[in-house]
Chain A
Amino acid sequence: MTTLEKFYQGDIRALSRIISFIENRTSGYRDLLGRLYEKAGRALRIGLTGPPGGGKSTLVNGLIHEYLKISQKVGVIAVDPTSPFTGGALLGDRVRMNEFPAGGEVYFRSMATRGASGGLASATGNVAVAMDAFGFDVILIETVGVGQVELDIIDTCDVVVVVIVPESGDAVQTMKAGLMEIADIFVVNKADRPGAEKLAINLKQTIQTKKKKDGDWNIPIIQTVAINKKNVDLLFDKINEYIAFIKDNSIFFAHRRQQIRKKILNILSNRFRIEFISGLEGKVDFDQIIDDILKGKTNPYKVSEEMYQQFKKIS
């Protein structure tokens, strides 16, 4: 029996193997993903992002329990960074996830970024497709600890929860572009520490100064102490409220349509990059070209244009 057949029968090991297959881009992975894609689309994808050590994993742990209470099957993808120096990674998010039944209701997979810099691994979205096709109801996706501009999560999820802590900064930090703009829900975690209330007020003011139309979603700010499960139920309620809201306002499907469009463009640009750029290797004498550029005989723009015209002729 093939691994894919076992996958369709609900074999957890087959799911794990298929995820590795996708992650390693083993030859044939595009065909496989194509098939899984047609079976996916049912699961909700919820993203948690924020700075390192903010409590994302602990919140994920709490949310899993909330979903288990309503008999939902939960898949989790937790991303941690790959070393740019050695290619190795320490994936430590499982440490916070130790209290689950082994009946297949919860599936947890750690991923290393493997060179991607947007807060996720480049295969994270595809791994979510595999979990979705396997039959999980909810997929929780936890980014690496991010700074301000790692925003891939918005193209991968239906809901984005931004998790910050009282030490995350002052009022000006909350006004900065990037991370602070992508939240559908804010969590101020470790709210038993000094400064939580003040940060929540600053955030609220930032949100209120943003121009809003009638009927826009009111971004909530939830103060949690994830380690004691304090207010995790509230976060769970807000997530559900948000999903109901975007479904009622047809934002949900508009967002997914936009993600699919981006996905197609992404697949294409990857293929062009692979076929065009890798096609240059060995055929182009870069040393000679660079010599000419340094001598002022030509320039990078002209050279690239010539290569591009050449490529268009072949294809």
Chain B
Amino acid sequence: MSQQVVAQENILELRDVTVSFGMNRGVSKVLDDVSIDIHRGEILGVVGESGSGKSMLASAILDAVVDPGTVDGEISYRTDSGETVDILNLEEEELRQLRWEEIAMVFQGAMSFFNPTMKIRGHFLETLKAHDQDVEDGMEHARELLTDLHLEPDRIFDTFPHELSGGMKQRALIALSLILEPNVLVMDEPTAALDLLMQRSILTLLDDLQEKYDLTIVFITHDLPLVKDLCDRIAVMYAFDVMEVFPAGDLSNSTHPYTRSLLNAVPNLTTSLDELRSIEGSAPDPVDIPSGCSYHPRCPLSTPECEQEDPALEEIGPDQEVACWHHEKVDEELPLALETSDGVSAEVYEGNQSDEPVVSMDDVEVHFESDDGGFLSLFDDPEVVRAVDGVDLEIYENDVVAIVGESGCGKTTFGKTAVGLQEPTGGSVQYRGQDIWETKAGRGNGDRSYAEIRRALQIIHQDPGSSLNPNRKISATLQVPMKSWQSDLDVEDRKARLLAMLESAGMSPPEDYADRYPHQLSGGEKQRVALIRALLMNPDLILADEAVSALDVSMRVDMMDLMLTLQDLFDTSYLFISHNLTNARYLAGRAGGRIAVMYLGEIIEIGPAEEIVQNPQHPYTQALHWSTTDLDSTDETESPISDIDVPDPIDPPSGCRFHPRCPEAREVCASEKPSLESETDHCTACFREYPEDHPYWDSEPLDQETVGVTVEGESS
């Protein structure tokens, strides 16, 4: 946490800032009378769900709201010398100088920020020249910044943007935003597209940067627990206005009912699974914001007073303001669910898990060859990406297996192999003892047809936007599975059945939903439809590929609850893929399932959900656990990995694949590979699990210094 250099001096003051867009439905207010002070030298977290107006706040601070939006109100900025600048009334040229030199911004999509035809060096030079800075000094500063961010300046400067991984690009972007030594850095979801581990690493680096360069940071995010250790104060936004501001150190400081409900809706690693409650209802439309307190339709504490009068932000303590009539009652009525679970209290949906596996995978390998050179590359050795490399897994009836790993570790490819949508290049995938791909080729040894196997294995995709055909109504989409395997049903039967399914998924009135196109549904509703579509095939196993990741935090628990309720009803198993240990814990934990951790194409640890979460054995699982912040933890621990970038999957490290990043790695890890064998059902592929006579215990630790600074790139 940062030291506040000058106590309580405000560097930015926002007064009654309103941003409105004229639409044909009416005036859309995407910021509604926001007033907030930003202290010099602090890190302010701005937290809100999607569509709460938090990104618009960032645009307003830079007076960069796009046409035809209009900004009203007052935003004043205090320079180092004590002058006050009215940002909204600046001339074009003054504004240009203010941006980047005084207030810089880091955007969400680092992928599209860089010009793909220009090397990274060019981006730095361009920025320096555009602001008439001394190029040599500036580049020297850039080198320092890049080194601070664990990047090698010389290598980074000479690469094109596509040669960098997402995390490296985002760090280069942060360096670029600091090149002109601004006083304020506005970051709009700078880590949302990155893996948890990378997110956490960047946050740690940011904390150091903030102290070193004496920055004021406005950090905008949808993930409250993520920023709690980084920030000094947290501002919570709902329905285009700030609901409360509170000191970040302890989340129990929060006094607004919305903040409490939001915190109680987010799965984490310690809270008992029964304590999680989703927030009823949905966020309001910007054209039609409820009168009075905008949260009252969803608030459990709302009274007639809330419906009539909008509470203003009221100071209730040092650094703490809240806009709620009932903030005194919050501790009583909506306590934070932080009690650590004892592992027994959680209600577990007990399925009758059979001994016979539904799907069993034996030494499955999926290798992709890149052959983009066409005829001319005929004589080159093709580059082989080992997406999945020798994985065994058995999935039983009524089982839930959650696969957790960073992006690019092969978890999606592995999942698609499990449901027979991706042909393995080695090993076998069997459905109830019958090889899927042999059956498809007509050489099957069992008596099941391929169509029968196909029916039993279904998929739900990650992106709600592309999981449904935009040109077909929901009722047409949902009739497809029934046409496929129940041809005896006529149109009316199919319709009656899909209406009943929609009803049971909580989408009522079902007739109304059935008659809609996908664009008329919210993301969560689309995912429900995708789940229903999969269930209508009456499958034995559903692959849920990051099925809740794209949803808003408050809706994830809802969706996972629905998945579990329907599992109970239809006797299916789930293979749940997630980059997020908390979601995996929630789904697998409630169903008494397992969590498997994948790293570079291999499963490195597998075991019962609570066991993996509470007692991780592999150093990588421990790192994942570290990257998932606990709501109530106050201790700040050092990063448990020594290199924050993932190695290149084309050329994976020898021996144990995690050894270049592992803090416990010894020499033997670089040459030998540990196996995943164990007598119990908690297996870990690490030499540290081996008995005392294993050579690991006598081997020398790897020299961490050399490993730590080497930056492993995507290009080899």
Task: Tell whether A pairs with B.
Answer: no
Q: Which residues of A are at the interface with B, using a C-beta cutoff of 8 A?
A: none
Q: Which residues of B are at the interface with A, using a C-beta cutoff of 8 A?
A: none
